[in-house]
A = this chain, B = another copy of it.
C-alpha cells in the first residue's frame, strides 16, 4: 500500500500516525510544502506575545521523530502540484532543488488546509503587512515586533486577531482592531460579544466596527491603513485576519467536487468523489451536526479526528464522521468566550424554530472567594426541548460549561436533562445547583409554561405606547444605579402587598438583575391573576443588548 498524504499539520499528521498504527507494511509519505510538520498552529499568537517563550515548543513532532517513531517518509519543502487520477500519481516539486517527480499512490489523503485571505487592495504587498498561518509568518511578524513596533492594526475581529491583540498589548504595542461587520467574533450572536468588546476597551485596544481597509500606504514611519470611512491609521505592523479559504486547487484541478464556498466535498467516510482520494481538515466541507447542512469549520479538533477517521477507512474500517458542531473557544485577556452548536442567527437564517434563555451565574459557590461571573445563552427546540446551541462569555468556568453542553448536544439531550445533571460540586469548583442545572430550570420552566418569558429585544423593539408595563423588582438601590427606561420599581419582597399598584388591563413584564427574582415575581403575579412574563436574563441581558444605555 502506497499512502500519500498532502499536508503535514493537524489532519495530515494525525492521519499518518494512525495509518502507521494500523499498518506496519504501508509505505506512508507525508508531503509538506513548508519546513515544519505537526506544529502548534493555535499557539502562534502566544509565542509572539512571549507567553510561550521557546519557539521549540511549537514544534510538536519534528520530521525526525515522525521518521524514527512512525517510520514515515516525511518530505518537507515538497509541494504537490498535481494529481493524475488515471495513472494514480501525484507530481511533486522539491522546493529546495526545484526537481519535479511523480509519486504513485494507492490511496491519497488531501490535508491541504486553508490559506488566510489577502484582499487585493492597493499596498497589500508592502513590507510590514502580514497574515498568520505558519511558523514562517510568525518568525517574520516576530522580527518586525522585535525591531520595535509602536502601533499595529489588525484587520478582522475574529479569533486570531483578538488573540493577537492580547499578545501585542502584552508587548506594549498600541493596537487597533478593524472589523467589517457590526460585531466581533461573528460565529457568536452579537449581544454575547458585549463583554469581550468591553474587555478590549478596558485593556486599551481600539475597536472599529463596520469598517474595512481599502488601501495601505507606505510612509517614512511605516504604513498607513486607509479605511473606507476615510480614517487613516498609522501602523508599523498590519496583520490581516479576515478569514481563510480552503486550499482546493489540487482537488479542483483534478476534477474532485468542491462546494460553493470552496471546501472539498467528502462523504461521511471523508472520501471525495474519487474513492481512492480522501480529504480532511480545514480544506473540506463538512456537515453541521445540528442543522445537517454543509459548512466549513476550520478547527484543529475536527481536523485531528478527521485525519484519524480517514486512515481508519483506508485500512478497512468503516468509520463515519458525525459532522462538526463548531465548538470553539477564545481567550481575550481575562475573559473567555466559547460556543457550541448553532447560534441564534444561524437558526434564524434557516428559519428553524427555537427558544432561548440567558442566565448570569457565577462559576462556583458565591460564598467561596473568587467566584467569577459569566453570561450563558442556551438555544433549544420549542417543542422537544432539544439543545441546539450554547454560548458563554465570562471568567473561569466558561470552558467547562460549554464542554458539558457540547456533550449534551452530541447526545441529543434536552433542557430537561440539564435539570437532572449531577455535576461535581465542592465550593471551589461549582455550585450545588450548577449553572448548567440553572439553565435547565429556566428553560424547562419556560417550556412547561410555568415561567413565561419575554425577550428583552422584543420589549425594546415594541413602540413605547404598546409596550408591556415594565416592572423592576430589584431593590431601590439597584434601580437607582440603572434601569430599563420607563420601568416602575417595586421590590419583589414587597410585591405581594403592593399588587394594587399594578394594572390589570396590561401585560406586565417583570425583571430583576439576572432573572431569578423576576421569575418569582412572575409566579406571584400569574397566581394573582395578572398577565405577566419575566424579562429573560433580567437587567444583565438588557445590558448585553444595550451596553451604553
Residues of A within 8 A of B (CB): 10, 20-25, 40, 42-43, 46, 51-53, 57-58, 60, 68-71, 159, 163, 289, 299-305, 308, 322, 324-331, 336, 338, 340, 365, 367-369, 399-400, 402-404, 406-408, 410-411, 413, 417, 419-430, 432-434, 437, 441, 450, 492-493, 496, 517, 519-520, 523-524, 527-528
Residues of B with C-beta under 8 A to A365: 40, 42-43
Residues of B with C-beta under 8 A to A441: 308
Q: Which of A299, A305, A425, A492 has the most CB of B within 10 A?
A: A425
Q: Known contacts A330-B426, A403-B403, A408-B407; is A368 also within 8 Å of B336 by CB?
A: no
Contact, CB under 8 Å: B43 / A301:
no
Residues of B with C-beta under 8 A to A24: 496, 523-524, 527-528
Residues of B with C-beta under 8 A to A303: 432
Contact, CB under 8 Å: A329 / B420:
no
Contact, CB under 8 Å: A422 / B304:
no
User: Complex Cα distance A368/B328, Å?
Assistant: 18
Residues of B with C-beta under 8 A to A492: 69
Residues of B with C-beta under 8 A to A302: 422
* Nearest chain B CB to A122 CB, angstrom units: 34
> B10, B21, B301, B432: which contacts A301 (Cβ < 8 A)?
B432
* Nearest chain B CB to A66 CB, angstrom units: 11
9 A–B contacts from the bound complex (CB under 8 Å) = A21-B519, A24-B523, A43-B365, A69-B492, A69-B517, A329-B430, A400-B403, A404-B404, A410-B413
* Nearest chain B CB to A192 CB, angstrom units: 15
* Nearest chain B CB to A219 CB, angstrom units: 36
User: Complex Cα distance A24/B496, Å?
Assistant: 10
Residues of B with C-beta under 8 A to A369: 51-53
> B406, B422, B427: which contacts A340 (Cβ < 8 A)?
B422
